[in-house]
Structure 1
Amino acid sequence: MATKNQKMKSFEPGRGYTKEDWDAVDFPELTAEELDNMRPAMDVLPAEFFKAMEEHRKSRGRPSLEHPKKQITLRLDEDVIAKFRASGKGWQGRINEALRKASGV
């Protein structure tokens, strides 16, 4: 069986498609002439394409916050951590809220 990064050279059952589907697809290898004629995308595609791609890349992820949280190392008693963890997902945020309340922020 092919690993994730290996190309499959022959049909392998149980991969989500049938033998007929495998046989219906034809991807011949590129010839030496085709490889010689290839050009970088920057030479072929319009500049607007790359500008749009860059704008899309910048817009990914969470929006930046005015006051982002800072990652620190904090040692807490095991029973305190266990109590917050037992309350389920989001326990770190609940610790933050408890600290805000206790500090009067």
Structure 2
Amino acid sequence: MPEKRKSSASDSGKRKPWVDPDDAPELTDEMLDRAVYRVGGKIVRRGRPPLGAQPKNSVTLRLDADVLDAYRALGRGWQSQINADLRRVRKLKKA
């Protein structure tokens, strides 16, 4: 059975020295100004907009290649167009 290696004082010298997190620089107003995105003085929130009262659900749908190509050829918003077409065919009112 192999012998267990004992730690020695020389092993502790290989570790990086501990840095106190309180040594981080203080935040300045200049740093905070760079942290927000402004357009015309108005702060613009980045990321996904808040979901409405009835958010859409994500589904997996298998379509024929020619149908998918036809919708993708419409450009941006092709998934919304599928949604609109399905609403029209099923005679569903806009939610």
TM bucket (normalised to shorter chain) is 0.3 to 0.5
Q: Which has the higher helix share?
A: 1
TM-score computed with the length of structure 1 as normaliser: 0.43
Structure ID, larger Rg: 2
Between Structure 1 and Structure 2, which shows a larger proportion of strand residues? 2
